[in-house]
Amino acid sequence: MTILPLSRRRVALAALVVVALAGLGTFSAIRVNASSPAAPITVPEVDVATVVQKTITDWQSYSGRLEAVEKVDVRSQVPGTIVSVNFKDGALVKQGDTLFVIDPRPYAAEVDRAQAQLAAAQARTGYTQSDWERAQRLIVDNAIAKRDYDEKQNAAREASANLKAAEAALETARINLGYTKIVAPVSGRVSRAEITVGNVVSAGASSAPLTTLVSVSPIYASFDADEQTYLQYLSRAKDGRKVPVELGLADETGYSRSGTIESVDNRLDTSSGTIRVRARFDNADGSLIPGLYARVKVGGSAPHPALLIDDAAIGTDQDKNFVLVVDQGNHAVYREISTGAMQGNLRVVKDGLKPGERIVVNGIQRVRPGDAVRAHMVPMTTDDDPNSAPLAQSHGKADAGAKGNS
């Protein structure tokens, strides 16, 4: 048996003491942990709603601009000096209302001159006609030379032609006199007076417009529809069948006006793959003006049942859309879905859900698939009026039909 030196025995003894104390501490810790109560497991609370099932009509949304049905550049048809402007800038006028007056005196004088010429032509016609009638009686008895007869006949015919020319000159003078009053060709809203009192204006299509006039009601909304929308919905408009269309303005959340498709262009633009469409809307209150931005949605499908959910309940996983379904055991289940267009505040679900299933609509960020949850039932965000919320759409393109691609 080997006997260790005293110093080494002391070191070994100290090591044994340390190991013994460490074991005793571990044992005590185990006893303390074993006697302590387990920490409670926190179950996340979430809002849960039942999938909505209702009958809907499919819509496609586009961006466009409002256009006047009738737009007129008001120009003078006779030259002259403007002596009065009879409207206020931006006022509503009726067809036939006087807008401008050009100095009528030169044209009134021309009417008087034409009337005098007409009177002279009438007198000349009466004289030559009587003279020819006498010549007709004389020629029967050979009491007049054939040459004289022909001259009197020709004079009567020439006087008759001159009478018609004088009548035409008088009518032209009267028309020009009427043009000195420039009236509204259509009812609508007038712009400002571009040329004011005292200015001399020229006549014709090349002259500067005095003002512009646009009709108020009805009004057009023009937009570019994609090829699929044309094939599914708009092609029926050419057969006389009505295609529903609705209009919303930039400051509106929904679609406040209903109208009809007025016309569809005769060709598809191959560079953009769109076709120009024009819809007609009533504008009795005059609140719509040409040039305004318009959100237009076109519908045409037959009413059909669909499943709808709150758009905020949909999560994205790379290129996939999903929701968390709460099963009968109150566990969150991952469910991939295929989405469609918006209907009011709700998103159409094409595939992945069944009627009556419950989904997490609030608190999805606190839950992972498979977690137990404490569900609080709430109504699905809904609105009975599908016009109260805009479709997810911009820049004239149709709703992509998926949340991640809208």
pLDDT value at residue 14? 53
pLDDT digits (tens, 9 = 90+) for 219-261: 999 999 988 888 877 876 666 677 789 999 988 888 889 998 8
pLDDT digits (tens, 9 = 90+) for 30-67: 444 544 455 566 888 899 999 999 888 777 889 999 99
pLDDT value at residue 290? 94
Give me the CATH number covering residue 81. 2.40.50.100
137 and 187 assigned to the same domain: no
Domain end (from 236, 266, 299): 299
Residue 23: inside a domain, yes or no?
Answer: no
Q: Which amino acid is at 384?
A: D
pLDDT digits (tens, 9 = 90+) for 98-110: 999 999 999 999 9
Domain end (from 189, 214, 239): 214
392 and 347 assigned to the same domain: yes
Domain end (from 299, 316, 337): 299
pLDDT value at residue 234? 81
156 and 263 assigned to the same domain: no
84 and 201 assigned to the same domain: yes
Residue 5: inside a domain, yes or no?
Answer: no
pLDDT value at residue 79? 96
pLDDT value at residue 93? 95
Give me the CATH number covering residue 355. 2.40.420.20
pLDDT digits (tens, 9 = 90+) for 258-271: 998 888 898 999 99
Q: pLDDT tens per residue, the chain (406 residues)? A: 445 454 555 545 555 544 544 554 544 444 445 444 555 668 888 999 999 998 887 778 899 999 999 999 999 999 999 999 999 999 999 999 999 999 999 999 999 999 999 999 999 999 999 999 999 989 888 888 899 989 999 999 999 999 999 999 999 999 999 999 999 999 999 999 999 999 999 998 899 999 999 999 999 999 999 888 888 778 766 666 777 899 999 888 888 899 988 888 989 999 999 999 999 999 988 889 999 999 998 876 667 889 999 988 898 888 889 999 999 889 999 999 998 877 778 888 999 999 989 999 988 888 888 889 888 899 987 544 443 333 333 333 334 333 443 3
Give me the CATH number covering residue 159. 1.10.287.470
118 and 171 assigned to the same domain: yes
The domain in which residue 186 lies consists of 71-103+181-214
How many distinct structural domains can be found in the chain?
A: 4
201 and 330 assigned to the same domain: no
Residue 19: inside a domain, yes or no?
Answer: no
242 and 360 assigned to the same domain: no
Residue 4: inside a domain, yes or no?
Answer: no
Q: How far is CA 37 from CA 27, 34, 179, in A?
A: 18, 8, 103
Residue 11: inside a domain, yes or no?
Answer: no
pLDDT value at residue 32? 44
Residue 28: inside a domain, yes or no?
Answer: no
Residue 383: inside a domain, yes or no?
Answer: yes
149 and 274 assigned to the same domain: no
pLDDT value at residue 232? 78
374 and 400 assigned to the same domain: yes
174 and 202 assigned to the same domain: no
Residue 287: inside a domain, yes or no?
Answer: yes
397 and 307 assigned to the same domain: yes
Give me the CATH number covering residue 266. 2.40.30.170
131 and 266 assigned to the same domain: no
